[in-house]
Every structure is written in structure tokens, then in C-alpha cells.
């Protein structure tokens, strides 16, 4: 990898020197664009040289940055969607229907009933934050046109927002739903 980084600045500098314009185009807009792009290539050449020297001087720091950026990339690719939440919820509901009510975990039944009620009222919302997602509730449905929905003084505060979070999704899993429904068929 270091060898390819050492070759790249030379390739860009050779391209920069090869581009020449005839005298009649000097000072025209085409020449100005060419000079602009030559400067851009020169800046990127300098950036590659600096990157190479930084990697050679501090390989541990470069490895930490690479691992950190790779982790963020994997988390963003595995970020669950609202469709994943609905799919998991329907699958769990279908599985709990097949179990006797005497064997069902009461906490699981209560949580699933709450989620179904929220979906029926239309107050569940989804928000993706890049590396993780949130499912949360609101006071009113989007189609509600009451005064409470319009008045800015009656809107929920930022301090009440954490209590509205239903579930957090990260690494392709909705964790609260998983924890509360993992042992759905065990009645303690």
C-alpha cells in the first residue's frame, strides 16, 4: 500500500506538466478551468504525500483511524430500518399466538400489546441517525389537527424525549424488542 502511495503523487505531477494549451487559448475560460483543475490535482498530490509521511511516522495512529472509520462504515451498513422493526414485531406476534396463554411471559405480552396499540393510534415514529436508529412515540397522530398539535407551547420538551424512546436499533438488531421478547414462552 505504501508503494502505491509513493507512485500516485508522481503520476499526478506528470499529468499536471503534460497538459499545455495553445497561445490563442491563453487567458480564455477553458484555460482558466484547466489551471483550476491543475491546482486541484496539485493539492491532492500534496495531500497524498502528507498522508504517506503521516502513515510512516505514526503507523499506530493510522491503524486506529482506519479501524475507527471501518467500524463506523460497518455500523452504518448494518443500521436497521423501520421495515426490519415491523417484520420482527410481526414475527414475534405470530410466534406468541401459537403458545398457550398460560405459558406466555406477561412482560412480553404487555410490551407487544403496547406496541400494537401505538401502531393502531399511529404515534410510532422512526429516526435513523446513521450508525443507529430509534423508534419513539409522539403524543398525536400526524393527521391530527387539534390545537394541541399546532401550539408550540404544548409541544413536548427535550427532557421528555428520552422517555419516549421505544427501541434502539444497532448492528441489524432492535435491542429492546429482542430483550423483552427473547423468552416469550417462559412464564415465571
Per-residue pLDDT tens for 9-59?
A: 566 556 556 666 566 556 667 777 877 888 898 899 899 899 899 889 998
Nine-digit cell string for 115: 406496541
Of the two residues 14 and 185, the one the predictor is more confident about is 185
Taking residues 1-16, report their average pLDDT: 58
Distance CA 168, CA 80 (A): 9
CB 21 within 8 A of CB 37: no
Q: Give the per-residue pLDDT at 20.
A: 65
3-state secondary structure the chain: CHHHHHHHHHHHHHHHHHCCCCHHHCCCHHHHHHHHHHHHHHHHHHHHHHHHHHHHHCHHHHHHHHHHHHHHHHHHHCCCCHHHHHHHHHHHHHHHHCCCCCCCCHHHHHHHHHHHHHHHHCCEEEEECCCCEEEEECCCCCCCCCHHHHCHHHCCCHHHCHHHEEEEEECCEEHHHHHHHCCCCCCC
Which tens digit of pLDDT belongs to each residue from 119-156? 998 889 999 999 999 999 988 787 877 777 777 777 77
Q: Give the per-residue pLDDT at 115.
A: 93
Q: Give the per-residue pLDDT at 10.
A: 63
Residue 98 has pLDDT above 70, yes or no: yes
Q: Percent of the chain scored above 70 by pLDDT?
A: 85
Dihedral class, residue 129 (left if φ above 0, else alpha if ψ from -120 to 50, else beta): alpha
Distance CA 50, CA 9 (A): 10
Q: Give the per-residue pLDDT at 34.
A: 78
Count of CB atoms within 10 A of residue 86's CB?
15
Residue 85 has pLDDT above 90, yes or no: yes
Closest among 70, 68, 81, 64 to 130, alpha carbons compared: 81
Q: Could you tell me the pLDDT band of residue 169, with boundaries at 50, 70 and 90?
A: very high
pTM score > 0.75 for this model? no
Amino acid at each position: 500500500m505504501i508503494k502505491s502511495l509513493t507512485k500516485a503523487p508522481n503520476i499526478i505531477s506528470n499529468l499536471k506538466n503534460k497538459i499545455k494549451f495553445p497561445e490563442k487559448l491563453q487567458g480564455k475560460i477553458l484555460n482558466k478551468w484547466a489551471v483550476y483543475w491543475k491546482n486541484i490535482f496539485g493539492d491532492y498530490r500534496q495531500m497524498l504525500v502528507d498522508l504517506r509521511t503521516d502513515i510512516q511516522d505514526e503507523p499506530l495512529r493510522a491503524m486506529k483511524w482506519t479501524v475507527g472509520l471501518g467500524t463506523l462504515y460497518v455500523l452504518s451498513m448494518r443500521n436497521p430500518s423501520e421495515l426490519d422493526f415491523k417484520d420482527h414485531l410481526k414475527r414475534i406476534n405470530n410466534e406468541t399466538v401459537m403458545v398457550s396463554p398460560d405459558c406466555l411471559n406477561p412482560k412480553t405480552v404487555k410490551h407487544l400489546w403496547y406496541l400494537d396499540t401505538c401502531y393502531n393510534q399511529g404515534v410510532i415514529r422512526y429516526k435513523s441517525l446513521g450508525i443507529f436508529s430509534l423508534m419513539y412515540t409522539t403524543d398525536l397522530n400526524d393527521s391530527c389537527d387539534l390545537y394541541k398539535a399546532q401550539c408550540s407551547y404544548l409541544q413536548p420538551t427535550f427532557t421528555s424525549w428520552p422517555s419516549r424512546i421505544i427501541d434502539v436499533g444497532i448492528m441489524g438488531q432492535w435491542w429492546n424488542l429482542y430483550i423483552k421478547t427473547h423468552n416469550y414462552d417462559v412464564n415465571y
